[in-house]
Amino acid sequence: MKTENEPAGKTHFGYQTIDKNDKEKMVASVFHSVAAKYDIMNDLMSFGVHRLWKRFTIDASAVRPGNKVLDLAGGTGDLTRKFSEIVGPTGQVVLADINDSMIKVGREKLRNKGYVGNIEYVQANAEALPFADNTFDLVTIAFGLRNVTNKDNALASIFRVLKPGGRLLVLEFSKPQQEWLNKAYDFYSFNILPSMGQAIANDKESYQYLSESIRMHPDQDTLKSMMENVGFEQVGYHNLTGGIVALHKGFKF
């Protein structure tokens, strides 16, 4: 399980060590490739459980009518859709993603379902968010932080754009808490998931990377410390599905 201690100028792309300047375009290539099949693969890969993880995140958000929400790495808009309903016409949801293919899929899906009034779409890098200080009541990033080149920079950027009293929710794959589950999850991730990606999306390599990126992501306590180091307070996490996924929450005061 990775920490942020990497050689100068280097970072990880799955299990590969690469130049930091190359990661953004390599991750972009993965998500350009998987965008069209992203939703169906999420359902297949998680057996639909990702919907419960996202529902838990929404319930934990304490979002209210009139709030301004940033759904960072918002992809195809699952969280954006629900937040749009909750904040209502007096609120706003910004779906931001670094990948324009993912934004296009999300925008088309949401507009086809009639979500047009209070949603804005922005292509943005999490490490340098193009928003003013103290803008959002809530920032969420679901299954996106592990793909960011410098997670510390991204967390600091999120902290900056949150209003005082605002909160961050990070929903991300993490470390299973039982050894038997860890072994079973490894077997599934590296023996079944890439083959599923080949069969459904004709892209084994991208899903191999996604499996590797999960293993290289900081574990629960490491991510908690990283959030605290950039200024978040009352940071805690809740393990879901035995720690396969964890929801971290922190506040800006």
Helices 78-87 & 100-112 angle (0-180, nearest 10): 50
Q: Which helix (H) or strand (E) holds 215?
A: helix 204-216
Helices 38-46 & 193-201 angle (0-180, nearest 10): 150
Contact 176, 244 (CB under 8 A): yes
CA separation for the pair 129, 239 (Å, rounded): 28
User: Is residue 39 exposed (0-12), middle (13-18) or buried (19+ Cβ within 10 Å)?
Assistant: middle
Q: Does the annotation place 97 within a ligand binding site?
A: yes
Q: Which helix (H) or strand (E) holds 161?
A: helix 151-161
Q: Does the annotation place 17 within a ligand binding site?
A: no
Contact 35, 99 (CB under 8 A): yes
Q: Does the annotation place 100 within a ligand binding site?
A: no
Q: Where are the beta strands (DSSP E) in 118-214?
A: 119-123, 136-142, 162-173
Q: Does the annotation place 125 within a ligand binding site?
A: yes
CA separation for the pair 251, 253 (Å, rounded): 6
Q: Residues at the annotated binding site for S-adenosyl-L-methionine?
A: 76, 97, 125-126
Q: Residues at the annotated binding site?
A: 76, 97, 125-126
